[in-house]
């Protein structure tokens, strides 16, 4: 039994995105009574907070993949035409409803409150310094809060990543006459952008002046370009190589899209089943696996009739990349369809290098210039940890990646499917995540006073974050768990996981940021959550089925809806037993 005082201990959760909200709910269900959530946004939802979503923003996930087991999610309007995809506004409503239903009145929720600094007071918790970011407040309200346990749920997409040569300062130095907006501010800046630019009739869309230049080849760039083209703004998108995507003429059946199939085809660090070993460790299996990924990729291009040689085909590989968006069904107002009709122009194979001295254009690495009135930087995000955790605190608790103590051979995983990887940056070998299971800094594993939520990079945040939240609740309570026996063991485990991430996704480390560095389990999230369930000594592979059907069983959130009770039963059974925990 853990001391009952643990339930009254103050817990601060930084972040009210999906990860923060789910953690708070799980801790409250477990009996913790003193939970505070902090966000600098005006409302809850994180990426899906009201001020960050706009009509036309769709999420990657199919319906049911981005929700929590305690709250049903209504089918979105027009679900079948959209291939089951939800809009950003649907997500915002769901997150707000979740918070209203389960958190309001039970946890403290501080909005428009920025965390400025976090200090660790060894043995007695954390000091969190905050400031109000309410623009109506006429005075600064710096505050220092104390807590026994801290959850960093700050997400990997909350601080804009802006290449210095494209920043507002660089634009200012070049007297650029237009405006520069990062994609994170698109929802708040859209009216301004529309005022500054002119609608262009579709027929004359090949006119000389680009109204908006969108820089980047990811999902944000596509969503923003499509939104602007839908309201008749002339848009050019520039990227070197774009992120891959899924699309289909008819929704993929649930037995493929919502089952373990894509996870099994993706492969995992440990191959626990004969089917996985066949798919990845035999020559014939690897041919089948590679062929299936190629078919999925080709089918996605064909859905939008994208011809060979089109810049839209200049994408990273679906298999080797963790940044895939699911575009759902063919829709005439989708980015790919709009490019095909000429409503959006695409310039690929080149990069934006800066602003020209005449103040009118952006210079590309191929020497071309694009004159424009608005530049949207869809250049990604960086972690917010550097800003809130000073280097010496990060080093003390073991937050930052480290140089691995053990050198792993690149061919550690003898999978045929990994035999011909794309070139990765050789300096990646000097990198290892320090976050055990993507949930706890390895160095702090014995302290049970800090957890990270949202660092496990997954295609199904709903299911994954829910299981992670239970893992964290058990960890904070001191439940009996399968944990490393020492810090060294935890660090060694992080190093193996990182070596796997390098072997599986050689290019992604340079892309991703620290907040996502814990674990890349994009398609392989079912295998990753199984490990977490087993850490709690709970049954895994919950979708069931027999030897023939298990891979195709639809994964349903209902299967994890009783985790609180199941963990309690384990606890009751273990009461009175002696066991070693870290």
Q: How far is CA 525 from CA 229, 261, 530, in A?
A: 35, 11, 8
444 or 513, CB closer to ligand FAD? 513
Name the minimum Å distance from CB 344 to ligand FAD: 18
C-alpha angle 316-322-324 in degrees, rounded to nearest 5: 65
Q: In this chain, which stretch among 57-65, 227-235, 427-435, 542-550 interacts with ligand FAD, using CB under 6 A?
A: 57-65
What is the spatial distance between Cα 140 and Cα 143, in angstroms, rounded to a whole number? Answer: 9
Residue 514 contacts ligand FAD per CB under 6 A: no
Nearest to 360 by CA among 350, 345, 374: 374
Residue 222 contacts ligand FAD per CB under 6 A: no
Q: In this chain, which stretch among 13-21, 279-287, 481-489, 517-525 interacts with ligand FAD, using CB under 6 A?
A: 13-21
Residue 555 contacts ligand FAD per CB under 6 A: no
Residue 59 contacts ligand FAD per CB under 6 A: yes
Residue 38 contacts ligand FAD per CB under 6 A: yes
221 or 497, CB closer to ligand FAD? 221
User: Binding residues for ligand FAD, how many (CB under 6 A)?
Assistant: 29
Residue 158 contacts ligand FAD per CB under 6 A: yes
Nearest to 41 by CA among 167, 184, 216, 166: 184
DSSP-derived 3-state class of residue 146: strand
CA 394 to chain CA mean position, Å:
22
Task: Report whether 522 contacts 461 (CB < 8 A).
Answer: no
Residue 76 contacts ligand FAD per CB under 6 A: no
**Within 10 A of 518 (CB to CB), how many other CB atoms are there?**
29
82 or 364, CB closer to ligand FAD? 82
Residue 47 contacts ligand FAD per CB under 6 A: yes
Q: In this chain, which stretch among 32-40, 231-239, 241-249, 496-504 interacts with ligand FAD, using CB under 6 A?
A: 32-40
114 or 479, CB closer to ligand FAD? 114
- Of the candidate residues 92, 128, 150, 157, the single one contacting ligand FAD (CB under 6 A): 157
User: Taken in order 408, 410, 416, 421, is the CA torsion positive or negative?
Assistant: positive
What is the spatial distance between Cα 247 and Cα 91, in angstroms, rounded to a whole number? Answer: 21
Nearest to 64 by CA among 459, 335, 340: 459
Residue 17 contacts ligand FAD per CB under 6 A: yes
- Rounded to the nearest 5 percent, the helix, strand and coil shares of the chain are 40, 20, 45
Residue 103 contacts ligand FAD per CB under 6 A: no
Q: In this chain, which stretch among 56-64, 200-208, 351-359, 488-496 interacts with ligand FAD, using CB under 6 A?
A: 56-64
DSSP 290-357: HHHHHHHHHHHHHHTTPPTT-GGG-B--TTT-S--EEEEE--TTSHHHHHHTTSEEEEES--EEEE-T
- Of the candidate residues 27, 32, 40, 120, the single one contacting ligand FAD (CB under 6 A): 40
Count CA atoms within 13 Å of residue 209 on its CB side: 12
Residue 328 contacts ligand FAD per CB under 6 A: no
Give the x-and-dash track for 279-318 against ligand FAD (CB under 6 A). ----------------------------------------
SS (H, E, C) 483-526: CCCCHHHHHHHHHHHHHHHHHHCCCHHHHCCHHHCCEEECCCHH
Q: In this chain, which stretch among 39-47, 225-233, 315-323, 551-559 interacts with ligand FAD, using CB under 6 A?
A: 39-47
**Pairing relation of β-strands 344-348 and 235-239?**
parallel
Name the minimum Å distance from CB 216 to ligand FAD: 11
- Of the candidate residues 10, 11, 14, 215, the single one contacting ligand FAD (CB under 6 A): 14
Residue 153 contacts ligand FAD per CB under 6 A: yes
DSSP-derived 3-state class of residue 214: strand
Strand residue runs (E) in 93-218: 108-110, 113-120, 126-132, 143-147, 149-152, 159-160, 179-182, 210-215
> Interface residues for ligand FAD in 368-387 (CB under 6 A)?
384
What are the tokens at 182? 């990062």
Residue 438 contacts ligand FAD per CB under 6 A: no
**Pairing relation of β-strands 126-132 and 143-147?**
antiparallel
Name the minimum Å distance from CB 402 to ligand FAD: 23
Name the minimum Å distance from CB 322 to ligand FAD: 11
Residue 517 contacts ligand FAD per CB under 6 A: no
> Interface residues for ligand FAD in 452-471 (CB under 6 A)?
454, 461
Residue 115 contacts ligand FAD per CB under 6 A: yes
Name the minimum Å distance from CB 21 to ligand FAD: 7
What is the spatial distance between Cα 546 and Cα 61, in angstroms, rounded to a whole number? Answer: 27
30 or 41, CB closer to ligand FAD? 41
Residue 271 contacts ligand FAD per CB under 6 A: no
- Of the candidate residues 10, 11, 13, 15, the single one contacting ligand FAD (CB under 6 A): 15
Nearest to 91 by CA among 113, 122, 60: 60
- Of the candidate residues 26, 36, 43, 60, the single one contacting ligand FAD (CB under 6 A): 60
Which parts of this chain interact with ligand FAD (CB under 6 A)?
14-20, 38-41, 46-47, 59-61, 114-115, 153-155, 157-158, 219-220, 384, 388, 454, 461
């Amino acid at each position: 039994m853990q001391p009952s005082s643990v339930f009254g201990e103050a817990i601060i959760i930084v972040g009210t995105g999906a990860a923060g909200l789910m953690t708070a709910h799980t801790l409250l269900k477990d009996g913790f009574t003193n939970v505070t959530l902090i966000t600098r946004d005006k409302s809850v939802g994180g990426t899906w907070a009201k001020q960050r979503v706009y009509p036309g923003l769709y999420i990657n996930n199919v319906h049911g993949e981005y929700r929590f087991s305690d709250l049903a999610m209504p089918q979105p309007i027009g679900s079948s035409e959209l291939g089951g995809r939800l809009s950003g506004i649907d997500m915002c409503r769901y997150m707000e409803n979740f918070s209203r239903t389960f958190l309001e009145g039970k946890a403290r929720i501080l909005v428009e409150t920025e965390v400025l600094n976090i200090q660790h007071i060894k043995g007695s918790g954390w000091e969190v310094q905050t400031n109000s970011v309410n623009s109506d407040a006429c005075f600064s309200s710096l505050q220092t809060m104390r807590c026994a346990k801290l959850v960093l749920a700050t997400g990997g997409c909350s601080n804009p990543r802006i290449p210095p040569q494209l920043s507002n300062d660089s634009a200012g130095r070049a007297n650029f006459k237009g405006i520069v907006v990062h994609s994170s501010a698109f929802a708040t800046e859209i009216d301004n952008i529309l005022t500054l630019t002119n609608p262009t009739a579709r027929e004359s869309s090949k006119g000389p002046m680009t109204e908006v230049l969108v820089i980047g080849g990811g999902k944000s760039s596509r969503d923003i370009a499509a939104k602007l083209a839908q309201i008749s703004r002339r848009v050019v998108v520039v990227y070197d190589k774009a992120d891959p995507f899924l699309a289909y003429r008819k929704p993929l059946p649930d037995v493929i899209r919502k089952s373990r199939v894509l996870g099994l085809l993706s492969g995992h660090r440990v191959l626990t089943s004969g089917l996985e070993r066949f798919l990845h460790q035999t020559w014939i299996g690897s041919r089948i696996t590679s062929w299936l990924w190629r078919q999925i990729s080709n089918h996605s291009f064909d859905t939008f009739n994208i011809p060979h040689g089109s810049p839209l085909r200049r994408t990273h590989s679906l298999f080797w990349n963790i940044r895939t968006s699911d575009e759902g069904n063919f829709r005439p107002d989708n980015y790919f369809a709009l490019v095909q009709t000429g409503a959006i122009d695409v310039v690929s194979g080149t990069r934006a290098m800066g602003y020209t001295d005449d103040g009118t254009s952006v210079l590309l690495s191929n020497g071309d210039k694009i004159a424009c009135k608005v530049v949207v930087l869809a250049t990604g995000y960086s972690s917010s940890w550097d800003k809130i955790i000073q280097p010496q605190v990060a080093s003390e608790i073991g937050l930052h990646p480290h140089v691995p103590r053990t050198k792993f051979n690149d061919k550690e995983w003898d999978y045929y499917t990994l035999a011909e990887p794309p070139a990765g940056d050789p300096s990646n070998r000097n990198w290892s995540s320090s976050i055990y299971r993507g949930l706890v800094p390895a160095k702090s594993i014995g302290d049970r006073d800090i957890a990270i939520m949202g660092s496990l990079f997954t295609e199904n945040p709903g299911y994954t974050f829910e299981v992670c939240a239970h893992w964290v609740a058990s960890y904070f309570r001191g439940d009996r768990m399968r944990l490393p026996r020492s810090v060294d063991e935890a660090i060694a485990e992080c190093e193996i996981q990182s070596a796997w991430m390098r072997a599986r996704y050689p290019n992604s480390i340079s892309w991703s940021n620290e907040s996502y560095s814990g674990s890349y389990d994009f398609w392989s999230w079912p295998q990753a959550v199984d490990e977490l369930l087993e850490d709690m000594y709970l049954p895994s592979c919950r979708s069931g089925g027999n030897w023939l059907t298990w891979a195709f069983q639809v994964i349903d959130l209902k299967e994890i809806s009783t985790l609180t009770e199941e963990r309690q039963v384990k606890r009751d059974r273990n009461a009175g037993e002696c066991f070693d925990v870290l």
